[in-house]
Amino acid sequence: MSKDELKNYLGQHFSEFSLTESFDFTELHVPKENILDVLKQLKESPATAFDFLFCETAVDRNPALELVYHITSTQYRHDLVVKTVLEDRENPVIESVYPLWTAAELYEDEIYDMFGIRFSNHPKLRRIMLTDEWVGYPLRKDYQDDKMIVK
């Protein structure tokens, strides 16, 4: 599907969610409760067939945390960005997308390590880069470390 066709398709099938345009991609904003359902639908529907999760990351929009999924289809070669916002900064929890894409295992480990977002139904959530005793989540904007960060 071309970019416009994809936009039309999403407007019809996911009319309850808002669509925006970034510089490169179409963005679909989904509440966190629906995220697994929507992604599953996007992956399994033969019209979209988003079978490749090429980037999953988080952005700290102080105070909310935002999760960004970059997905593409190896069949049609169209891309989409799906975003969701986690308001709870103290204890952010969201459903893992590991059942859809195995790649998510490592991506979500990294997000947990750097942003402190917990993923339910993840096979083995662990601090992948830092030690288990590390205090705080370094990529958050309010992270304090007087030794390592010199202003």
Residues that bind other proteins (CB under 8 A): 22-25, 51-55, 57, 59-60, 68, 70, 74, 77, 101-103, 105-107, 110, 114, 124, 128-131, 138-139, 148-149, 151
Could you tell me whether strands 118-120 and 93-95 are parallel, antiparallel, or unpaired per DSSP bridges?
Answer: parallel
By CB atoms closer than 10 A (0-12, 13-18, 19+), residue 18 is exposed
Task: Measure CA 5 to chain center.
Answer: 23
* Between 9 and 52, CB nearer to other proteins: 52
Q: To the nearest whole angstrom, how small is the minimum distance from the Cβ of residue 113 to other proteins?
A: 8
Nearer to other proteins, 38 or 65 (CB): 65
**32 vs 139, which CB is nearer to other proteins?**
139
CB of 4 to other proteins, least distance (A): 18
